């Protein structure tokens, strides 16, 4: 990108071949769920080591259907983190269950596995770990707890597609895994998501949940035996996904390189840096933490960055301090580490099209903005 252009914190990268493949779908006469969706599901399944994978029009829908497949509903509790996009917790409320937030480990900014057992009650049915910024939650510890207490695990891997745990790609092992194809994620379908499942039975139920609970028969009739929704993906979207999936590894490789450069050039010692995991993370985001002394000045910092032509984001406000979750009894002060990170976190630009000059420009803007704040 040129020096003076505004640098957003992220931007999807869609090549001309993919754009042409979308045009082909538009000319084909078949726009909704069809051959392109089946092709993308097959490619995703191959990547998941042959496990069944099904598409939907958002990862939020995939999360909700995962909870339904696990049989979770009224009276059940689900353990998760408040340091995530609010969708992670909303789906728990949506199925009538109760979200139970466990604080994060400040080193990883992910749910602290050491605190999970204390939050388990006889009503606990599942854990939803979130790989914030693409850094994988410790799968060994999560699955050890799940096995001990007979809990389901729904991995919110919306941000961590292509990341791995101890060399095993996420989605190739574990219980239920969701990925998101929102335009900000490491690959996109415009909007979309998918669920990796354990069996053909789960996949059949998922297919019903995403389209009105309907099973079609060869004679043109159908039956409806569960309450399904309307969340199927279009072939237009799947065509984008097929073009993106081919490039996912290259995208993630480039993100890793850019993240390395940030570590080389971000020398401000007062900043909190992410865990430098170049083996496992897919570097979905690069998030710095402002020093505690500047937490109340974050909005000024973001404004100074914008004036320098640098886009930023806040991912995320702590879920438990939003109005809806206060209505459910949650309060400031209940999750100290989550709240401290939520108050200070700033997402800085990281996307495959960036170059070394962009990274240095961001680092300079951060240094200048910090100087102005403390002047």
DSSP state of 219: T
Binding mask 144-173 for ligand PLP (x = CB under 6 A): ------------x-xx--------------
Q: Which is nearer to ligand PLP, 182 or 254 (CB)?
A: 182
The reply to whether 244 sits near ligand PLP by the rule CB under 6 A is no
279 catalytic residue (yes or no): no
How far apart CA 82 and CA 299 sit, in angstroms, is: 21
Binding mask 179-208 for ligand PLP (x = CB under 6 A): -x-x----------x---------------
Which residues fall within 8 angstroms of residue 78, CB to CB, at 6 or more apart?
Answer: 67, 72, 92, 97, 98, 99, 100, 124, 125, 126, 127, 128
Cis peptide before 316 (omega within 30 of 0): yes
Please say which residue, 81 or 369, places its beta carbon nearer to ligand PLP.
81
* Binding-site string for ligand PLP from residue 86 to residue 125, where x marks contact by CB under 6 A and - marks none: -xx-------------------------------------
Shortest Cβ distance from residue 85 to ligand PLP (Å)?
4
Q: Which residues of 188-222 are buried (b: 16+ CB within 10 A; e: fewer)?
A: bbbbbbbbbbeeeebbebbbbbbbebeeeeeeeee
Number of residues in contact with ligand PLP, rule: CB under 6 A? 14
Least distance in angstroms from the C-beta of 87 to ligand PLP: 4
| Nearest distance in Å: CB 102, ligand PLP | 15
Stretch that binds ligand PLP, among 53-61, 98-106, 266-274, 297-305 (CB under 6 A): 53-61
Smallest distance, ligand PLP to C-beta of residue 136, A: 13
Strands 104-105 and 286-289, sheet pairing: unpaired
Q: Which is nearer to ligand PLP, 59 or 79 (CB)?
A: 59
Q: Within the chain, where are the H helices?
A: 16-28, 35-47, 59-69, 87-94, 139-149, 200-210, 235-245, 248-265, 298-307, 323-327, 336-344, 356-374
**Minimum distance between the CB of residue 191 and ligand PLP, rounded to whole angstroms?**
6
Q: CA-to-CA distance for 289 and 271, rounded, in angstroms?
A: 6
Task: Give the nearest distance from C-beta 59 to ligand PLP in angstroms.
Answer: 3
Question: Which residue in the list 185, 279, 292, 303 is annotated as catalytic?
Answer: 185
- Cβ distance to ligand PLP smaller for residue 87 or 196: 87
Q: Are 258 and 283 in contact (CB under 8 A)?
A: yes
CB 181, min distance to ligand PLP, A:
6
- Locate 331 and state its tokens: 């309060």
Nearer to ligand PLP, 22 or 56 (CB): 56
Residue closer to ligand PLP by CB (options 281, 369) is: 281
| 238: phi then psi, degrees, rounded to nearest 5 | -65, -35
Q: Which of 33, 45, 58, 81 binds ligand PLP (CB under 6 A)?
A: 58
Which of the residues 69 through 88 are near ligand PLP (CB under 6 A)? Answer: 84-85, 87-88
**DSSP states of 67-90:** HHHTT--TT-EEEE-SSS-THHHH
Task: Name which of 59 and 238 has its Cβ closer to ligand PLP.
Answer: 59
Name the token pair of 236: 């237009």
Q: Is there a contact between 64 and 268 (Cβ–Cβ < 8 Å)?
A: no
Only one of the segments 21-29, 54-62, 254-262, 335-343 lies at the binding site for ligand PLP (rule: CB under 6 A); that segment is 54-62
92 or 266: whose CB is closer to ligand PLP? 92
Task: Determine the 3-state secondary structure of 31 from DSSP.
Answer: coil
Neighbouring residues of 361: CB distance < 8 A, sequence distance ≥ 6: 3, 7, 309, 310
Q: How far is the CB of 180 from ligand PLP (least distance, A)?
A: 4
Binder of ligand PLP out of 7, 22, 59, 66 (CB under 6 A): 59
Pull the structure tokens for residue 57.
């029009």
State the residue for tokens 């680092």: 363
Q: Per rule CB under 6 A, is residue 130 in the interface with ligand PLP?
A: yes
Binding site for ligand PLP (CB under 6 A): 58-60, 84-85, 87-88, 130, 156, 158-159, 180, 182, 193
| Residue numbers annotated as active site | 185
């Amino acid at each position: 990108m040129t020096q003076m252009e505004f640098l957003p914190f992220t931007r999807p990268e869609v090549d001309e071949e993919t754009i042409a493949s979308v045009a082909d779908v538009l000319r084909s006469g078949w726009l909704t769920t069809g051959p392109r969706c089946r092709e993308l599901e097959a490619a995703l399944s191959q990547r998941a080591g042959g496990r069944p994978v099904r598409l939907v029009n958002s990862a939020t829908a995939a999360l909700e259907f995962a909870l339904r497949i696990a049989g979770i509903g009224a009276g059940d509790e689900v353990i998760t983190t408040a340091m995530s996009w609010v969708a992670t917790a909303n789906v728990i409320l949506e199925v009538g269950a109760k979200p139970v937030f466990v604080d994060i480990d400040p080193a990883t900014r992910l749910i602290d596995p050491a605190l999970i057992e204390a939050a388990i009650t006889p009503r606990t049915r599942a854990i939803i770990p979130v790989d914030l910024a693409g850094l994988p939650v410790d799968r060994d510890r999560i699955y050890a707890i799940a096995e001990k207490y007979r809990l389901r695990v729904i991995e919110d891997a919306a941000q961590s597609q292509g990341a791995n745990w101890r060399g095993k790609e996420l989605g190739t092992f574990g219980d239920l895994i969701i990925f998101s194809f929102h335009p900000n994620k490491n690959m996109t379908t415009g909007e979309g998501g998918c669920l990796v499942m354990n069996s053909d039975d789960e996949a059949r139920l998922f297919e019903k949940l995403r389209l009105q609970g309907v099973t079609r028969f060869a004679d043109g009739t159908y039956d409806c035996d569960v309450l399904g929704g309307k969340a199927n993906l279009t072939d237009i979207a799947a065509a984008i996904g097929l073009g993106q999936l081919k490039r996912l590894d290259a995208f993630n490789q480039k993100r890793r390189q850019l993240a390395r450069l940030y570590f080389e050039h971000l020398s401000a010692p007062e900043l909190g840096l992410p865990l430098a995991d170049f083996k496992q993370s897919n570097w979905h985001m690069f998030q710095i933490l402002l020093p505690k002394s500047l937490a109340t000045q974050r909005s000024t910092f973001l404004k100074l960055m914008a004036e320098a032509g640098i886009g930023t984001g806040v991912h995320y406000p702590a879920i438990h301090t939003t109005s809806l979750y206060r209505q459910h009894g949650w309060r400031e002060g209940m999750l100290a580490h989550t709240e401290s990170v939520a108050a200070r976190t700033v997402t800085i630009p990281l996307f495959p099209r960036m170059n070394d000059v962009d990274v240095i420009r961001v680092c300079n803007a951060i240094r200048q903005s910090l100087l102005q704040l403390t002047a």
